[in-house]
Structure 1
């Protein structure tokens, strides 16, 4: 099972393998206390896309389209496969992100793409 979670939430017994999917390290979180097994910053939206989006809910739909396009590039496809392989190896995988907005987060788009890949 692959799930998403804010990195600021408490570590859960069922988190399994924890992957940080943000390009930047989260503010106020020490590496020792983050319990991150892998920092896969390359799978995060590009800096240009992240800055363009600026967490503006009105840009959400277009952001999702642009991010899906980025995820369809070959390097990112490999990262999607890597996450699926880690799920097979560890059973539970938690994708961690720092954003406050739990509705307009790249983590949801990424999870959708991973699930689509396994369908």
Structure 2
């Protein structure tokens, strides 16, 4: 993906030659813009909350990529890595759409498996 702004506020770092790993991340300052949507559904809006949402989305909508994505979020940063750029790009597209469509984000939070995104 050449246009970094296409996924904003998410950032996708593609691995270079000799580095097969790619990384998708979202920082806490950006998470704050939609924190109220998480809070409306009694979910945490920090990095772990975004990770829970993402894991649930992968399991329900992208099950073929469950083993291709590695999550390593912290409270202030959502992080997922993969050697499979296609898997990471598909997840990025889902999360980007949800971030920019508050009603969709709310629906996805509500539908998320509570094992991954407690409410």
Same fold judged by TM-score > 0.5?
A: no
